[in-house]
Amino acid sequence: MKASLPKFALSAVAASLMVACGGGGSTPTPAANTQAVTLNFDVVNGATAVGTTGCTVPMILGNASAVAPSTTIGTSGKMQDLRFYVSNPVLIDAAGNKSPITLTKTTDQDSNVALLDFETGSGTCATGTPMTNTSIVGTVAAGNYVGVEFDVGVPVKAPDGVTSLNHSDTVAATTPILLKWAAMAWSWQSGRKFTKFEFVKPAVPATAAASAIPAVTTMVHLGSTGCPVTALGVDPVCTSPNRAKVTFATGFNPATNKIALDLGSLFGGVNLNTSQTWMSGKVTGMMTANPAYYYGKFNLDIASGVPMTTAPVAPALFVIK
């Protein structure tokens, strides 16, 4: 868990984002009928463990030949950032019943949302922070559970249905600490970046035979788009919420399993030898890298920014281990 307050606060802007899709309040379960729960998260590259080493240990990602003619399959590099928000976590029993997890308030989680942080502020993540967070903790109704579900993103409202989260004023006392990180600002839409996945292919120094080759960076920033400008404190209705829902109806035991983000799947069809940025969509003036590919990876409809299916599914970029 992070032990200190963010060093940089987002500027106070009218925040944006999507149609409300999370964070509804439910009647609290009496403490005597609850049990503690921890959801552990991880990062992998296919069968290779990554965890919090992505900033310092090189990995092979992407598939250059799938996008452009190339003799290179995959690109060697490191992560430059690796953070994402999750919200509305629930556990699922064998009958399919869902029990919401009440998150314990910490600097990493509050108001039904948590920030998972796998960058270490070292190596290629020098602009990040040394603190990491790889789990969420809380309580849930007593029972036996076989599945898990959560959203990737920040809800519009806190569970009280009143307090703004995704479009919150970062200087307000009601804004959770985890929403005050400047690095997670979705400035051009005045909200939060739900994901900040950045891969960098290192620069190659000049030699007597060849000129220097600059570093190449691929960025995946998921956030709500189509958010109109509103007065500070007024939640806009965004045309593309872009909150992904991850559901593993079975095969998950919180005591023994981890939920892993698979970078190999996320970047599997992308040429990482060319700098590109994916910022959730098709806004004029913004660079877009294979928007249909990335929307598919998050199981989001490219036109509406909502999950493509109503049936519970897990996007391919998340796996149970």
Burial 114-139 (b: 16+ CB within 10 A, else e): bbbbbbbeebbbeebbebbbbbbbbb
Enter the DSSP assignment of 13.
-
pLDDT band at residue 104 under the 50/70/90 scheme: very high
- Would you state the pLDDT for residue 139? 98
Pick the residue with more confidence: 16 or 267? 267
pLDDT digits (tens, 9 = 90+) for 230-250: 877 788 999 999 999 999 999
- Would you state the pLDDT for residue 279? 86
Residue 66 has pLDDT above 70, yes or no: no
pLDDT band at residue 190 under the 50/70/90 scheme: confident
pTM beyond cutoff 0.85? yes
How far lies 160's CA from each of 26, 27, 163, 174, in Å?
9, 11, 7, 12
Residue 37 has pLDDT above 50, yes or no: yes
pLDDT digits (tens, 9 = 90+) for 205-215: 878 888 888 89
Spatial distance between the Cα atoms of 140 and 147, rounded to a whole number of angstroms: 13
Per DSSP bridges, beta strands 75-92 and 147-152 are antiparallel
Mean pLDDT of 256-262: 97
The three-class DSSP label of residue 264 is helix
Q: What DSSP assignment string belongs to 33-96?
A: GEEEEEEEEEEEETTEE-TT-TTTS-EEE--GGGTS--S--SEEEEEEEEEEEEEEEEEE-TT-
Beta bridge partners of 191: 186
Average pLDDT, the chain: 85
Per DSSP bridges, beta strands 34-45 and 258-262 are parallel
Mean pLDDT of 220-226: 92
110-119, 131-140, 160-169: segment of lowest average pLDDT: 160-169
- Would you state the pLDDT for residue 158? 92
- 205 is written with which tokens? 């120094």
Mean pLDDT of 280-301: 76
Q: Supply φ then ψ for residue 297, to 5 degrees.
A: -60, -35
The domain ranges of the chain are 31-320
Spatial distance between the Cα atoms of 319 and 220, rounded to a whole number of angstroms: 19
Query: Closest Cα to residue 257, out of 148, 107, 95, 127?
Result: 148
% of the chain surpassing 90 pLDDT: 60
Those residues whose C-beta lies under 8 Å from the C-beta of residue 139, and which sit 6 or more positions away, are 29, 31, 34, 35, 36, 37, 101, 102, 104
Query: Closest Cα to residue 112, out of 151, 148, 159?
Result: 159
